[in-house]
Amino acid sequence: MTHAYLAGRSIDPPAITGHETVVELVDNTFHAYNAGRLREACELFTERILAPETTVGMSLTGALTPAGLGVSVVIPLIEAGFVDWIVSTGANLYHDAHFALGLSMHRGSPFADDIALREAGVVRIYDVFFDYDVLLRTDRFLGEVSRKEEFQRCMSTAEYHHLVGGYLQERERALGLERKSILSVAHEHGVPIYTSSPGDSSMGMNVAELALDGHGLRFDVSADVNETAAIVLDAKRDGGKSAVVMIGGGSPKNFVLQTEPQIQEVLGIDESGHDYYLQITDARPDTGGLSGATPSEAVSWGKVDPSQLPSAVVCYLDSTIGLPIIAAYALAKREPRAQRRLYDQRSASVARLAEQYQAARAWREARLKGARLGSAKY
């Protein structure tokens, strides 16, 4: 009788021929160690996370868009309906704009002389090189559009990115380009994009300049917190599920995860945590940082449903390797999903969140009042 511990597929791979598809390579040769976790991530994303009833939130950390992963990976996932809402570093969105503006990024060497690069007017992100003028031209574009009348108010970062995405889409069309910007494609498909630290990038720096110039554009970070919590609460109602796919760690990882503590701990609404947890990271858990924190640790905060913990997957590898493989695997095996267009539903979602918050607060106050009356009898 075979022991339950030995019920897994036997490791007896076929020889690689060079003609394998990504699916065949992952299924037949990614058996163990980090390759095994990457296979499990592909399976989790494709077979469970992309179920019709699951709302998928993705966080993006690390210099992904300068390396072209916005165009090659994130945009196809959005178009396929595989990503419903996003939290990204502002830097990824700023560098994403370069592509819509027709500004080029180049392969380079991580061993170049940075003093010589500075003298030549070349900026380096490890082994990605680009002209310093790329920054100036992108700043000029952001400054011009952010001065427009429709921007002169307090807004969530999702609103700001949606508006900027519309102008980037116009610029793409004028230049004869298409599908070059995450912001542009998200604008078209109604995918809300948030930045957890809006001042921490050249995007935020350009908005800060406008404040010095007397313009009215401000970011409403409370709106970001409430809108993202509302998205998750809506996802979990009526039999739905919530998945978080975290590419890297940092503040965006926390922002997608903190939606559940916001619902449970702060608003007092009964909830159990995200259903699916998938992360690619190179951070260690033993340093205590959020980037390396495990899904089991997240359970202790109420971020992840403990009953779903066995299906959580963490891949310890470079995101620029893992993300394209997961995306290619999923796009090969799953048909596109219907677009949820969560951006268009933000106001209604927050209104529902407010109703449930008020109901939960009233219940807590009534319970507390009852406890006080009970103790007064004695």
- Position of tokens 């089991």? 296
Q: How far apart are CA 251 and CA 194, in angstroms?
A: 11
Q: With DSSP H G I counted as helix, E B as strand and the rest as coil, what are the percentages for the chain, rounded to 5?
A: 60, 10, 30
- Residue among 276, 287, 288, 286 nearest 314 (CA): 276
Q: Which of 241, 303, 333, 377 is catalytic?
A: 303
**How many CB atoms are located within 10 Å of the residue 183 CB?**
30
Tokens of 75: 């945009």
Candidates 151, 147, 64; CA nearest to 99 is 64
- Neighbouring residues of 361: CB distance < 8 A, sequence distance ≥ 6: 268
Q: Is 253 an annotated catalytic residue?
A: no
What size, in residues, is the chain? 378
Under 8 Å between Cβ of 53 and 244:
no
Beta strand 218-219 with 154-155 is: parallel
- DSSP result, 41-93: HHHHIIIIITSTTEEEEEEE-SS-GGGTHIIIIIHHHHHTT---EEEE-HHHH
In degrees and rounded to multiples of 5, residue 132 shows phi and psi of -55, -25
DSSP, res 234: H
Q: What angle do CA 93, 192, 269 make, to 5 degrees?
A: 125
Tokens of 107: 């392969």
C-alpha Rg value of the chain to the nearest Å: 23
Beta-carbon contacts of residue 252 (< 8 Å; ≥ 6 apart):
59, 60, 61, 87, 88, 89, 196, 246
Which residues belong to the active site? 303
